[in-house]
Amino acid sequence: MYRNQYDSDITTFSPSGRIHQVEYAMEAVKQGGAAVALKSKQYAVLVSLKRSSSELGSYQKKIFVVDDHVGIAISGLTADARMLCNYMRNECANYNYVYENQMRVERLVTKVADKHQVHTQRYGRRPYGVGLLVAGFDQLGAHIYQTCPSGNFYDYKSISIGSRSQSAKTYLEKHFESFEESSLEQLIIHGLRALRETIPNTDDGLNSKNVSIGIVGENQKFKIIEDEAAQQYLNLLENEEPVEMQTN
C-alpha cells in the first residue's frame, strides 16, 4: 500500500473514490491469525488458529460466545474485537429480554456492520481494526457471515480470513459442495484441514494448544472446543492421508 496525501483522515475520499483509512484498517484484519468458518444444513462451525506472543505466554483467545445460538471468531485487533463482542452480547440479551425470542443472526450482523460504518464517517473515530466471522443458527437455518471494518458484511457458505487465509480459501473452494450434507465431525475435519493450509511449513502445525473450534446447531448451543477436547478431532486429522492439493 502506498502512502499518499489522502489517507490521513477518515473523512477524506481519495481522487479514485476510496477511503484509505478504511482500507488500512482492513489490512489489520489480514495480519491477524487465520480463522475458518463453514456450515452444513444443521451446523455452523468455526475453526481458528491461536497465536501466542512467546513460548512463555498464553495463546490469544479467538472464539467467543455471543449467545446460545451465535458465536464469533476474530481476526485483527483483539481489544477492538472485545468491544464488538460485548456489544453483540448486549444486543442479543436485550432482544431476548424484550421479545422472549432469539435474535436472528442477520439482524445482529447488520447491527454490527452499522456500528462499523459509523466509524468510517464521523470525524475523530477510527475504524475497528477487526474482522469477525459470525457463526449462528436460527429459524432460517445455519449461517456464516463475515464483517469488515468498512461496514460491509457478507453471507458465506464457507470462508477464511486472516494471514495466509488464501490457502484455506483454495481448500474450501475445492470441497464446499460436500459441506451441505456433511456431519458435524466431517465439517470440523474439513475446517481443520483448511486451517492447516495456512500454517507455514516451518511451524509446529496444529496442536491442542493453538487450535480453537466453535460449533453451533439446531440442538447444539454455541460451544467452544479447546485444549484436551480438541485433541480428539486433531487425532482424526492425523490418522488421515494427507490431502492432495492441486499444483499449478
End-to-end Cα separation, the chain, in angstroms: 28
By CB under 8 A, which span of 91-99, 109-117, 226-234, 235-243 interacts with another protein? 91-99
Is residue 93 a contact point for another protein (CB under 8 A)?
yes
Closest approach of Cβ 43 to another protein, in Å?
21
The three cell numbers locating residue 36: 475458518
Is residue 59 a contact point for another protein (CB under 8 A)?
no
One-letter amino acid at 134 equals: V
- Here's the x/- map for another protein, 17-56, by CB under 8 A: it reads as ----------------------------------------
Closest approach of Cβ 66 to another protein, in Å?
8
Is residue 97 a contact point for another protein (CB under 8 A)?
yes
Q: What are phi and psi of 138, to 5 degrees?
A: -135, -160
CA 15 to chain CA centroid, nearest Å: 32
Closest approach of Cβ 226 to another protein, in Å?
12
Evaluate whether 39 touches 144 at the Cβ level (below 8 Å). Answer: yes
Identify the residue whose cell numbers are 487465509. Answer: 165
Tell me whether residue 88 or residue 237 sits nearer to another protein (CB atom).
88
Is residue 89 a contact point for another protein (CB under 8 A)?
yes
| Inter-CA distances, 188 with 16, 31, 40, 213, 246, Å | 42, 24, 11, 8, 22
By CB under 8 A, which span of 30-38, 90-98, 119-127, 147-155 interacts with another protein? 90-98
